[in-house]
Amino acid sequence: MKKRKSYGSCLIALSLMIALTACNPKSTDTKAADTANKSSAKTDVSAAVTWAETNGLNKTETVDELYSKAKQEGKVVVYSQSSRIKDVKATFEAKYPGIKVEAFNMSTNDIVEKVIREQTAGIYNADVIFVKDASGAVTTELTTKKLVHKYIPKDLSEKMVEPYKSNSSGLVPYFSLRAIFYNTDVYKTSPVTNWWDLTMPEWKGKVLMNDPIDSADMMDLFLAMIQHSDEMKQAYKEKFGKDIVLEGTENASYEFIKRFLKNDPVLMKSSDEVVEAVGVSTQGKPPIGIGASSKLRDVIEKKLSIAATYDVLPKISVVGPSYLYVADKAPNVNAAKLMIRYMAGEADGKSDGFKPFNVMGSWSTRTDNGRTDQPSIDKLKVWNYDSDYFYKNFVKFREFWLKMQ
């Protein structure tokens, strides 16, 4: 049984429960089932598409044109997965007088639930939705059903790299990762170079992380490993010099997870707790942590002795894109478009709306405003985000994880 820092809720958030209901007709979570069924019944995709076209979500308008219309609307409502939206609110209201920002900071899972419940009830309150995909729940439950809409003006997209330039469900201003952190007072370089290192006796009880049952980002990392089990198999051979022998599991990735859990990882409530525990440790051999790469901004703010490794076999992590969408039937659609442009850096890439997110451990999807103090996008060895695979397989992983505890 692995050690826990915090027990937290073992119930998965509604956005993931919707998928569970679809995969398991006998689910007793009737609340989640009702929400999913009502959402499917009342979502008129063709009407939503028409609304998006009528309101110019496929057009590129100037900032002056949008500001003139947005002032008549007077406000913009943002559901945000990041607390840094408060910084965006301050600079946006200063730049665009006459437009008030109503910002709500929630988890992605809570945003999915709120959007579904509101639109099911015919309530259209949100204008901008700022989320991660939460194991494919956003793509499957919001994007595909047109509860949210893609808005990527041409003068922004032409500065973006693929696949975000032309093959994305929404505008992705940046992405982050789940990274391995280590204490730089003790280690001059990362003590972990292969994910299989974490199954070794020296790391027993010394790996801090979020529980994937409560963290979609952490779950996505394990799902990416499972999707690429052939790579995990090869990484095992490179670590131990021999082929892996499975012990009651179906592939190398599930075997890794099984052995990792036997090594007693410590489950924390948040990435903040993870990096702080790693960065201030006074132990002779401090723990390492797995957490949000964007927490590297805490190195300066909180004077932590931490760094993240970018050289781990077979891959560092899976890409974690952050998406900006216009909510269906947004009451302040012009202000929504103006806000999305602002948060995405505007045409020149220099707007204050992007600055709160342009931190260490986050990677801009544009060619003109990325950081130079970390590896560039083309140098990152990462797995791509596969929302369809993650959505179809998270229940299986979840059941395995709970069984192994």
Domain with CATH 3.40.190.10 in the chain: 43-175+320-374, 178-318+396-404
* Residue 15: band (very low, low, confident or very high) from pLDDT cuts 50, 70, 90: very low
User: What gap in Å lies between CA 268 and CA 8, rounded to an integer?
Assistant: 9
> Per-residue pLDDT tens for 310-332?
999 999 999 999 999 999 999 99
Chosen CATH of 43-175+320-374 out of 3.10.450.50, 3.40.50.620, 3.40.50.300, 3.40.190.10: 3.40.190.10
- Residue 29 pLDDT greater than 50, yes or no: no
| pLDDT for residue 18 | 44
- Residue 88 pLDDT greater than 50, yes or no: yes
Q: State the Cα angle at 320 between 177 and 375, rounded to 5°.
A: 45
pTM recorded for the entire structure: 0.87
Cβ atoms of 172 and 360 within 8 Å: the answer is no
Burial class (CB in 10 A: 0-12, 13-18, 19+), 220: buried
Q: Which of 52, 43, 311 is nearest to 191 (CA)?
A: 311
| pLDDT for residue 25 | 37
- Residue 26 pLDDT greater than 80, yes or no: no
Cβ atoms of 383 and 220 within 8 Å: the answer is no
Cβ atoms of 326 and 337 within 8 Å: the answer is yes
State the architecture of 178-318+396-404 in CATH terms: 3-Layer(aba) Sandwich (3.40)
> Per-residue pLDDT tens for 186-197?
999 999 999 999
Q: Is the dihedral of CA 68, 115, 117, 7 positive or negative?
A: negative
* Interval 226-239 mean pLDDT: 98
Q: What would the two tokens of residue 349 be? A: 């890439």
| pLDDT for residue 21 | 38
> Per-residue pLDDT tens for 332-371?
999 999 999 999 999 999 999 999 999 999 999 999 999 9
User: What gap in Å lies between CA 236 and CA 122, rounded to an integer?
Assistant: 52
* Residue 173: band (very low, low, confident or very high) from pLDDT cuts 50, 70, 90: very high
User: What gap in Å lies between CA 171 and CA 153, rounded to an integer?
Assistant: 9
Sequence-distant (6+) residues with CB within 8 A of 131 are 79, 81, 108, 111, 112, 138, 322, 323, 325
Dihedral, CA of residue 108, residue 113, residue 116 and residue 120, to nearest 10: -160
- Between helices 252-262 and 387-404, what is the axis angle to 10°? 40
> Per-residue pLDDT tens for 364-403?
999 999 999 999 999 999 999 999 999 999 999 999 999 9
Give the length of the chain.
405
